[in-house]
Amino acid sequence: MMRRTEIIVSSHSDFCFGVQRALNIAKEALKKNRIVYSVGPIIHNPQVVSEFSREGLKIINDVKEICALRAKGKSKKINLLIPSHGISPEVLRKNRIAFIDTTCPLVERVQRIVRDLSRKGYFIIIVGDKKHPEVRGLAGIAGKNFRVLKNKREAKAFNFPQGASAPAEKKLKRIALISQTTASVSNFKEILSEIAKKDFKELVSFNTICKNTIDRQSEAQRIARRVEAMIVIGGKNSANTSKLAKACRKINKNTCHIETREDLKTEFLKGKKSIGIATGASTPPYAIKEVVERIRRNDI
């Protein structure tokens, strides 16, 4: 008789609280309005975004698109929703747009820290991906004196910008380091230690990685150590899911990152006696059930 594959599912496999909150707010908004616009995807999961788009949530790429709609008088009342990873509040203020805010309170906290550091004249280093909406929002708040660093290599190559005058240069040597909420802890520490080798007047750092991200990463790595293969489910555009897969791959080379059960290859499952499953913060819980069913079918 064939032995059933052992499947270990991470205990951190629900939506994180910020994502769940954003989806609840969006659902309420869609009950009251036929169309709601979202600046970028509400969360980084294509399957959930499709479900919401069927309910009337339309994605726009830029706040300017809303201004254009308003100018054309296409809509009397525009319902604009800010996704869980936030956008720069300065952009909204400039365009005087009312909005439904689903920004995660933990992202808002990082925005407050950046605003405060910027006012105090620090040069801000944001650890993260400069294309990610959360980081773009933070950059918008930081003003001119900031840099986004993705990894140790970029941190090594980083040089403080030369001020036009001596006092300005002195001021720029007051450095503050913060992180995208979904950055990896090891990456943050590596960048911090590289920056600490530079010539600075003052260095302060804020580990602003959210606890849910940290717990998800450590639980997934714990499982990855125990199993023959690891499956990480979540949007390919989700920063925390991609980092989760990378963290698991460091420990277990047999790690694959999939969005849905359809992405799972029979070849990958073949002969595996134990499989671990972890999910990103924006992965719907039903995706796990579907993947488990797919593995069980392979057992037959």
Instruction: Name the residues annotated as catalytic.
Output: 134
Q: Which region, judged by CB under 6 A, interacts with ligand SF4, from 12-20, 149-157, 229-237, 243-251?
A: 12-20
When asked if residue 220 is in the footprint of ligand SF4 (CB under 6 A), the reply is: no
Residues in the chain: 300
- HSE-CB of 227 using CA atoms within 13 angstroms: 29
- The footprint of ligand SF4 on residues 244-273 (CB under 6 A) is none
Q: Which region, judged by CB under 6 A, interacts with ligand SF4, from 100-108, 113-121, 148-156, 256-264?
A: 100-108
**Dihedral of the CA atoms 236, 240, 244, 247 (nearest 10)?**
110
Alpha carbon distance 259, 72 (integer Å) = 38
- Beta strands 6-9 and 229-233 are unpaired
Residue 170 beta carbon to ligand SF4: minimum distance, rounded to whole angstroms: 35
Alpha carbon distance 85, 41 (integer Å) = 10
Q: Which residue has the tokens 């788009």?
A: 53
Alpha carbon distance 161, 145 (integer Å) = 9
Residue 25 beta carbon to ligand SF4: minimum distance, rounded to whole angstroms: 12
When asked if residue 40 is in the footprint of ligand SF4 (CB under 6 A), the reply is: no
- Out of 5, 38, 205, 212, point to the residue binding ligand SF4 (CB under 6 A): 212
- CB nearer ligand SF4, residue 78 or residue 248: 248
Q: How many other C-beta atoms can be found within 10 angstroms of the C-beta atom of residue 77?
A: 7
- The footprint of ligand SF4 on residues 178-197 (CB under 6 A) is 181-182
Residue 201 beta carbon to ligand SF4: minimum distance, rounded to whole angstroms: 31
Q: How far apart are the first and last CA of the chain?
A: 10
Spell out, one character per residue from 106 to 125, where the chain touches ligand SF4: x when CB under 6 A holds, - when not: xx------------------
Residue 250 beta carbon to ligand SF4: minimum distance, rounded to whole angstroms: 20
102 and 41 in contact (C-beta within 8 Å)? no
For the record, the structure tokens of 118 come out as 């910027």
Q: E strands within 190-291?
A: 202-206, 229-233, 255-258, 274-279
Alpha carbon distance 264, 78 (integer Å) = 41
When asked if residue 208 is in the footprint of ligand SF4 (CB under 6 A), the reply is: no
- CB nearer ligand SF4, residue 18 or residue 140: 18
When asked if residue 229 is in the footprint of ligand SF4 (CB under 6 A), the reply is: no
Residue 109 beta carbon to ligand SF4: minimum distance, rounded to whole angstroms: 9
Spell out, one character per residue from 15 to 34, where the chain touches ligand SF4: x when CB under 6 A holds, - when not: -xxxx---------------
In angstroms, the Cα distances linking 8 to 11, 111, 162, 247, 277 are 9, 37, 52, 17, 6
- Binding footprint of ligand SF4, residue count (CB under 6 A): 15
**Cα angle: 82, vertex 77, 34; to 5 degrees:** 75
- The footprint of ligand SF4 on residues 72-91 (CB under 6 A) is 84
Residue 266 beta carbon to ligand SF4: minimum distance, rounded to whole angstroms: 32
Question: In the complex, which residues of this chain contact ligand SF4 (CB under 6 A)?
Answer: 16-19, 84, 104, 106-107, 181-182, 210, 212-213, 240, 281
